[in-house]
Amino acid sequence: MMPETAPPLPLPPAALRLRLDHAALGANWTALDALSGAARAGAAIKADCYGLGATEAVPVLAAAGCRDWFVAHWQEAAEAAQIVPVGQISVLHGPITDAEATYARALGVRPVLNSLEQVRRWLAAGGGPCDLMVDTGINRLGLRVEDIGDPAVGALDIDTCLSHLASADEDSAQNFAQLARFGAVASAVRAKRYSLCNSAGIALGGDYHFDLTRPGLALYGGVPRGELTGRIAQVAFPEAAVIQVRQLHAGESVGYNATFTAPAAMRVGVVSVGYADGYLRCWSGRGQVLWQGRRLPVLGRVSMDMTIVDLTTAPDCGEGDWLGLDYALPGAAAASGLSQYELLTLLGRRFAREA
């Protein structure tokens, strides 16, 4: 007889949680779709919806009306295909091997072709609906403009012809130059739709919108340009539990390298979040957490799993209570020196995702 095994024990609740405001997420897509004018807004859902969780976020965006989805990797395409129709999914990195071209055809997603080599590889695999990226100045992925007249490009069944703005978050002459180049591309490449804008590009105005916009950051609460201030709502609200309260005597230091010393007796809390969770050491001595409308300073150096905060003004906060991380993205980026993109995508897997 096989020995009996004990049933698995239920896990205690996580000491980290990430609350997603579904209403704000849906409203952000609606606002960006309206700002896109005659164009339709899609959604960049790569990097697990910028760290917020595709299984949570994608259904909300679909319910709001999104029908075009952009991922970077094939595994992201496979995950998205469990949630939305495969024919709506575009894979930005394109097929760099014959096996990837075969996989894209079998799954039914659209590869974004980024070079003449990928164009020929796609046609050799049997072709079919695809997207085409043309580089207009960012010099990352994409065909060079001088290659768009190649006969192989003319043989493609292109759903969307794309390019990507390099400096849309700035008032840069590069934006105008890329717009002019993409206008010429749109006249030369036969496609069902044309797409240039990311989140920041939407705010540049109607000339940039073409047929399809591809917001990412702004969907999830980021504000890459001032024109979007007041139109985009915070979506991500990370929280961490207090796991110990300590009393410090005057002259005692806290954390690695003793970068903070108590000037007087004080009450502090050890919070269950650290740089392994995306709360990086740049917050050391400068971050703040939120408790019932009060801002509590981070003390000393952030460590891998723990951060120490000042509870002097929160005598009612104790072990097991939840503190909010200050994650209104524009302000958090200014305070930390991280980009709004980094703040979101660094959020670790130990956060329990909650609606």
Running DSSP on this structure, what letter comes out for residue 176? H
* Burial classification of residue 222, based on how many CB atoms lie within 10 Å of its CB (0-12 exposed, 13-18 middle, 19 or more buried): buried
- At residue 146, the 3 state secondary structure works out as helix
DSSP H or E segment with residue 215: none
Token representation of residue 240: 């961490």
User: Do 32 and 64 meet the contact criterion of CB atoms below 8 Å apart?
Assistant: no
Which listed residue (192, 208, 256, 275) is catalytic? 256
User: Do 165 and 138 meet the contact criterion of CB atoms below 8 Å apart?
Assistant: yes
d(CA 88, CA 80): 10
Whether 194 is catalytic? no
- At residue 31, the 3 state secondary structure works out as helix
For residue 243, the tally of other CB atoms under 10 A from its CB is 15
Strands 16-20 and 236-248: antiparallel
Cβ-proximal residues to 277 (8 Å cutoff; 6+ apart), any chain: 16, 240, 305, 347, 348, 350, 351
Please list the pLDDT of the chain residue by residue as tens digits (355 residues): 566 777 788 888 899 999 999 999 999 999 999 999 999 999 999 999 999 999 999 999 999 999 999 999 999 999 999 999 999 999 999 999 999 999 999 999 999 999 999 999 999 999 999 999 999 999 999 999 999 999 999 999 999 999 999 999 999 999 999 999 999 999 999 999 999 999 999 999 999 999 999 999 999 999 999 999 999 999 999 999 999 999 999 999 999 999 999 999 999 999 999 999 999 999 999 999 999 999 999 999 999 999 999 999 999 999 999 999 999 999 999 999 999 999 999 999 999 987 7
> What ranges in the chain are assigned the alpha helix state H?
22-35, 46-50, 54-64, 74-80, 98-107, 116-124, 151-154, 173-188, 199-202, 329-336, 340-345
Instruction: Select 21-222's CATH number: 3.40.50.2300, 1.10.150.120, 1.10.3720.10, 3.20.20.10.
Output: 3.20.20.10
Note the pTM of the prediction, 2 decimals: 0.94
Whether 46 is catalytic? yes
Phi/psi of residue 80, nearest 5 degrees: -65, -35
Instruction: Select 236-326's CATH number: 1.10.10.10, 2.40.37.10, 2.40.50.100, 3.40.309.10.
Output: 2.40.37.10
Extents of the domains making up the chain: 21-222, 236-326
